[in-house]
Amino acid sequence: MIKLFFGNIPTILSTGLIVVFVIFLKDVLSKDPQITRWGTLALRMFLLGFIMSAMSGAKDYSGIVPVIKFGPGNKAFIVLSVLGGIGILFGIWAFISKNKSVHRTIFYALSVIIIIKTVIVEVMRIKKHFIG
């Protein structure tokens, strides 16, 4: 099972990004009342989510059988694509908006999207590892 998360360079990078995400979110949650630069944080979360998604795809195609196959019939692919599209729209909105309250909401919405996408992908990987 260790190979799922530390088997090669893409899996190590992807696992590292998950750790970075958890630390980043924990840090923001602990400082929420004092934060004034929500726009920067929302854009950083968007960028982190975008990179995590790309690395997740790279991990899937780095020498192991992909867990999520691309195609219109795959429900997980559709859910992940829709969530990714919503995340992109939030990222654009964060870039355009000047409202701190909107930036804060976008930051947390992106965090939830990243958590959902990560759970879906990692549960499917673990399930595939044990069940086949």
pLDDT digits 0-9 by tens, 70-104? 667 778 888 988 999 999 999 999 999 999 999 99
Residue type, 125: R
**What is the phi-psi region of residue 8: left when phi exceeds 0, alpha when psi lies from -120 to 50, beta otherwise?**
beta
pLDDT tens track for 99-127:
999 999 999 999 999 999 999 988 888 88
Q: For the whole model, what pTM was predicted?
A: 0.88
Which token pair is 24?
A: 């980043």
Domain limits of the chain?
Answer: 2-131
CA 2 to chain centre: 21
65 — pLDDT class (breaks 50, 70, 90): low
